[in-house]
Amino acid sequence: MHPPTHHRLVVGDARDLPGIADANVHLVVTSPPYPMIGMWDEVFCALSPAAAMALKKEQGFAAFDAMHLELDRVWRECARVLVPGGFACINVGDATRSVDAEFCLYPNAARVIAGMRAAGFTPLPDILWRKPTNAPNKFMGSGMLPAGAYVTYEHEYILVFRKGGKRIFRTAEEKAARFRSAFFWEERNAWFSDVWTDLRGTHQRVDRARERSGAFPFELPYRLIQMYTLQGDVVLDPFAGTGTTLLAAAASARNSVGVEREEALAEVVDRSLSEVVEVGNARIDLRLSAHKAFVAARQAEGRPPGHENGPYGFPVVTGQEKELEMARPMGVTPLQVGTWEVRYGLHAPGTQATLFG
């Protein structure tokens, strides 16, 4: 049996991460409010009188700078709570907006990189998340007439940072957990590409708690958690919102902490975590069935994988996948307000026979 994981939602301010000890988190995955996107103006104006004044005076870049100064405080807190070698993955999009009758781009991604560098992080190669839209009115500007149209933005960034040098795995337990937490060779090839085109944005309606959210799809934090953490690690989302990162961590046998200013969203997070058994097992089944198809294709090409995974007994490409084993969520228990425990089992009986027999 895999040990249970624990998940906590803290109602508080990400600029001063409450109750999180120094060097206690292994990965930050978050999507902050985007400066100069209209739906977040009210939030930034409440946090920054300077941003509110600049918007009132229609001084676009003064507002942009003031908003990012508030995010800089969050990045410094993330640096404090991350372990040496820990990662931070920030999903952010640039903004396009007309202020004082002037249309321009506000480069949020570049400014977040500057803020993270100032906080002591090392920037690593990032991911371009392409989010195509088929809306007939997606073109901006003068349509088919030259010198007055604008490129349509259909992408966001997943910026990747590390605190210091590479993480060191010293104990036998850590090393074993690292091999158990491996991903498939074919997943590595897809996930570590610099352009992701297979993730669609998620629906923005969030009941009564908030008219819209900046929620990313479940697959985004789930994938990043597999890429940068071990089973049993701690994942933090300082802008927890509807709890997608907490759900992805629970589905992955990682612990998590979420921080959210809006207390009303706690009910939404509770509903999200109540679905971890269904969501987590469905994602594991999808990974296994995709691997089955990959193995079959390799065998049909006369290139069968040359190694065998021990826990499952199926073929894998590399020796690093031989101990890969996914912990299946078996139940979730609310311990107290804002705290949950998730229990796990290992692969279901008959998995090998069903998928690879």
Dihedral sign computed on CA atoms, order 237, 239, 243, 244? negative
Question: CA 177 to CA 155: how far, in whole Å?
Answer: 35
Q: What is the CATH number of the domain that holds 184?
A: 3.40.50.150
- Say what the pLDDT of residue 194 is: 97
Examine residue 353 and state whether it is found in any structural domain, yes or no. no
DSSP state of 217: P
Q: What is the full per-residue pLDDT of the chain (357 aa) written as tens digits? A: 689 999 999 999 999 998 899 999 999 999 999 999 999 999 999 999 999 999 999 999 999 999 999 999 999 999 999 999 999 999 999 999 999 999 999 999 999 999 999 999 999 999 999 986 656 556 667 778 888 778 888 899 999 999 999 999 999 999 999 999 999 999 999 999 999 998 875 543 344 444 445 679 999 999 999 999 999 999 999 999 999 999 999 999 999 999 999 998 999 999 999 999 999 999 999 999 999 999 999 999 999 999 999 999 999 999 999 999 999 999 999 998 899 999 999 875 445 444 554
Q: Is residue 313 part of a domain?
A: no
72 contacts: CB under 8 Å, gap ≥ 6: 115, 118, 119
How many domains is the chain partitioned into structurally? 1
Q: Is 231 contained in some domain?
A: yes
In a domain, 301, yes or no: no
Token pair recorded at residue 198: 């297979």
Q: Domain of 43?
A: 5-280
pTM, full prediction = 0.93
Q: How far apart are the first and last CA of the chain?
A: 25
Calpha distance 12→15 (Å, rounded): 9
Judge whether 172 lies within some domain. yes
Domain membership of residue 83 (yes or no) is yes
Q: How many CB atoms neighbour CB 50 within 10 A?
A: 17
Decide if 223 is inside a domain. Answer: yes
Helix (H, G, I), strand (E, B) or coil at 5: strand
Report yes or no on 315 lying in a domain: no
**What would the two tokens of residue 18 be?**
């409450």
Contacts of 57 (CB under 8 A, 6+ apart): none
**How many CB atoms are closer than 10 A to CB 80?**
17
β-strand 155-163 against 82-92: which pairing, if any?
A: antiparallel
